[in-house]
Amino acid sequence: MTSDTLLLGTHKGLLMLDVSGARPALTCEAFAGIPVSHAMLDPRHNTMWACLDHGHWGQKLHRSRDFGQTWEEIPAPKYPLGEEISEGVPATVSYLWLVAPGGADQPDRLYIGTEPGGLFQSDDGGQTFELVEGLWNHPTRKDYWFGGGRDYAGLCSIIVDPRDSQHIIIGISVGGVYESTDGGKSWEPRNEGCTADFLPNPTAVAGQDPHFVVSSPKHPDVLWQQNHCGVFRSTNGGRRWENVSQPGGPVNFGFAIAVDDDAPDTAWVIPAVADECRIAVGGALCVSRTDDGGKTWTAFRDGLPQEQCYDLVFRHALDKQGDRLAFGTTTGNLYLSDDRGESWRCLGSNFPPVSSVRFLPRQ
């Protein structure tokens, strides 16, 4: 059963919307005026999390146990004293990219991905977090991880295998995809087949730029990534990637990507022009879907602006539940589809820039 509730992280606070009617109804608002980089509900015990990017006070982490009616601040992750991003540059958390739950057999496990490229782990429900040193100390980090749109590398994707919670895949922009099979103690880069045309060696084992990495929930060995240099797909857990971009466009550059729960060959992206021109292709917004593993793509435009459009969709600002999809843009537009992305209705055009969009389960 699909949800009628959207949770939005925006540049001006957290919003919860009931989208069951012709017009969305605001049911909860928190952190007014403060950028919320990511917001999510942990389905294991219905705890809501919000990552805040204070301009003055830095990165803050908040938790709600009553669906956003009240919030408590939790100490945000911190790098251990003495850790460095590079020689002489102390490691401090400059952005909280996302919060992700551990496996079903780990009720108190949480992960947080940060800038500068760190993964933090909690085993007490988020009361405390510790740096996953096996990843932070990987020999590729200091030489091959770096900032792209931001100053430093950002860990922006976390996938916990539903079959084995010790199996974790993460995506770092700019750094690459890494895999652990022992709960984070050791990691291996999984970037074969990816290309980074901005590197001296475009096929380097590290330094790739996955904007967002997702897996098919019921087929977790099938991975998709919207990459800086195209859309890539793997059918063997990231050990080999294939470029499935669309020759001649528009599917190539972008940030957001979603994959179908049941059909691992079906995925959605929202294309943009390029890294130096981060706007809708041709001034027209579209959502592109493939149903054959990226061999072909269809652009859907019904209900989306087709002229003078400058929208961009961030990596966490697209979500899917059942046949429903929703996304928010950097220009404050919010869209909903009830037919797998083939037609859209605008829920509003006066929202703040949207950083994250998530459907909440029915209660």
**CB half-sphere exposure, 359, CA atoms < 13 A:** 23
- For residue range 259-274, list pLDDT tens digits in order: 999 999 999 999 999 9
Q: CA–CA distance from 84 to each of 39, 111, 163, 224, 295 (Å)?
A: 28, 21, 35, 31, 43
Tokens 């917004």 sit at which residue?
285
Q: Where are the domains of the chain?
A: 5-360
For position 3, what pLDDT does the model report? 83
Question: Residue ranges of the chain with pLDDT lower than 70?
Answer: 1-2, 362-363
Tell me how far apart the alpha carbons of residues 234 and 217 are, in angstroms, rounded to a whole number. 14
Sheet of 287-290, strand order:
257-259, 267-269, 287-290, 298-300
Task: List Cβ neighbours of 204 (8 Å cut-off, separation of 6 or more).
Answer: 144, 191, 196
pTM for the full predicted model: 0.97
For position 363, what pLDDT does the model report? 57
**Is 3.40.1170.60 the CATH number for 5-360?**
no
Answer whether the bond into residue 174 is a cis peptide, omega within 30°. Answer: yes
